[in-house]
Amino acid sequence: MAKRERVVRMSVELPLWRALTAYRVLTMGYAVLLFVFGRDRFERPWVAVGFLAFLAVWTLATLPKVANAARCTKRFLVADLTIALVGILLTPVADAHAQQIDGTTLPSIWTAGAVLAYAIKGGWRWAGFASSLVAVANIIERGEPSRDTFHNVLLVWVASIGIGYVVEVARASERTLARALEIEAATRERERLARDIHDGVLQVLAMVQRRGTALGGEAAELGRMAGEQEVALRTLVAGGLAPASRVSEDETQGAVVRLIDEPDEPEEPDDAGPCDLRTLLAPYAGSRVTLSEPGAPVPLPRPAAKELAAAVGAALDNVRRHAGDEAQAWILVEDWPDEVIVTVRDDGPGIPEGRLAQAEGEGRLGVALSIRGRLRDIGGTAELISVPGQGTEVELKVPRGKAGR
């Protein structure tokens, strides 16, 4: 998170630092040109030459210091502002008439660069501090400041504070954006885990409950415990607090040991290359499931093809669970130039109106996560059409452009 926030912050501040670097170089050259064209009025030109030479060397040597916020240290800011203040106060020493005429100071508008560095680095408070010191130095240098002097001082003060405030607002916005991205990533990961749990553990627990209840006896007790665990796990997945389970430690210890001792399955390579969707959907075909597919391959990026096939599997699980083992289902694969459409249809009793919203409230997130969530993650959409007594149809669309990302 810290690394991400640092990268985002640099993306906003970097143009400001680059602009400041160019500004310092250009205004340094401008100050030198002002002296060259007005050197005849200087009573002590050697003072101006010495200061401007030092200013030129300092400006060029410290260009890396104004490359970003990390390199622009407090020590550098203090030294930079000190040089600007010294240049302002040396102006009447080099030019005795500087206080009588409304001329420019030795560093001229280069001084504003030192103030802007404070603004970009520390915000409007730092900018106000630096511009106030510059204002005092200008008033002292003038002796009897004119209206133009106050106008220039006020302009630098307002501009620097305004830039500092904008920088602080930008930083706050960047932090908010980084936090939102972090929350979004965590939410997506939680939804992915919830889909995996729904497709695996919850389906098994529901099957154990149904079979145990049907068998009766000790199996019915196992079915009851499986049902309690299913409810608790669904509540946890939905974001609530699961009720305490009544399954004893002895009953669960064996299952935990078996899970630990079970060897890990080899991980499949997460290859983003093209994959024929037909090969992933073929295992779903059977006596109760009819698969209709094109004669040519249906290429999709492997991650998108896996998620689409998993969504089809989740739709078929819903058919077996809600329409019964005797229900007939059909899978239709359509390969279009700009998108792939997979339709899963059954001849079950259909879904009553409002049942999906009620299921989500009860923590049954099969459609919300295992189907719609998977399609959303790969840039697709899932549309469910159901008429009571006429079956259910789930249409899954995956645009090829989005699926490749």
Region 208-222: what's the mean pLDDT? 74
C-alpha–C-alpha distance, residues 199 and 382, integer Å: 17
What is the pTM for the complete model shown? 0.51
Q: What is the pLDDT of residue 356?
A: 62
Residues 235-243: contacts with CB under 8 Å, at least 24 apart:
235/363, 237/194, 237/197, 237/198, 237/363, 237/365, 238/360, 238/363, 238/365, 240/363
C-alpha–C-alpha distance, residues 58 and 39, integer Å: 22
Q: Are 324 and 366 in contact (CB under 8 A)?
A: no
Q: What is the pLDDT of residue 263?
A: 40
- The residue count for the chain: 405
Split at pLDDT 50, 70, 90, the class of 354 is low
H/E element holding 37?
Answer: helix 2-37
Q: What is the pLDDT of residue 405?
A: 54
Detail the DSSP E strand segments found in 206-269. Answer: none
C-alpha–C-alpha distance, residues 181 and 174, integer Å: 10
Cα 404 to Cα 275, 380, 397: the distances in Å are 12, 11, 14
Q: What is the pLDDT of residue 257?
A: 31
Q: What is the pLDDT of residue 247?
A: 40
- Answer yes or no: is pLDDT of 197 > 70: no
Region 91-109: what's the mean pLDDT? 74
Question: Which of 143-157, 203-217, 238-252 is the least confident region?
Answer: 238-252
Q: What is the pLDDT of residue 251?
A: 38
Question: Which of 30-44, 159-173, 254-268, 371-385 is the least confident region?
Answer: 254-268
- Answer yes or no: is pLDDT of 207 > 50: yes
Question: Which of 56-70, 178-192, 312-326 is the least confident region?
Answer: 178-192
Split at pLDDT 50, 70, 90, the class of 23 is very high
Q: Are 291 and 285 in contact (CB under 8 A)?
A: yes
Split at pLDDT 50, 70, 90, the class of 6 is very low
C-alpha–C-alpha distance, residues 348 and 328, integer Å: 8
Question: Which of 120-124, 257-261, 268-272 is the least confident region?
Answer: 257-261
Which candidate, 277, 400, 274, places its Cα nearest to that of 337?
400
Region 397-405: what's the mean pLDDT? 74
Q: Are 112 and 27 in contact (CB under 8 A)?
A: yes
Structure tokens belonging to residue 266: 């080899």
- Answer yes or no: is pLDDT of 265 > 50: no
- Answer yes or no: is pLDDT of 278 > 60: yes
- Answer yes or no: is pLDDT of 365 > 60: no
Average predicted confidence (pLDDT) for the chain: 78
Split at pLDDT 50, 70, 90, the class of 292 is very high
The strands making up 289-292's β-sheet, listed across from edge to edge, are 289-292, 329-335, 339-346, 392-399, 381-386
Structure tokens belonging to residue 250: 């002895």
C-alpha–C-alpha distance, residues 295 and 335, integer Å: 10
Region 125-130: what's the mean pLDDT? 91
Q: Are 199 and 310 in contact (CB under 8 A)?
A: yes
Using CA of residue 315, residue 319, residue 320, residue 322, what is the dihedral sign?
positive
Q: What is the pLDDT of residue 249?
A: 37
Region 290-317: what's the mean pLDDT? 90
- Answer yes or no: is pLDDT of 97 > 90: no
| Residue 143 or 161, more confident | 161
Neighbours of 26 (CB within 10 A): 13
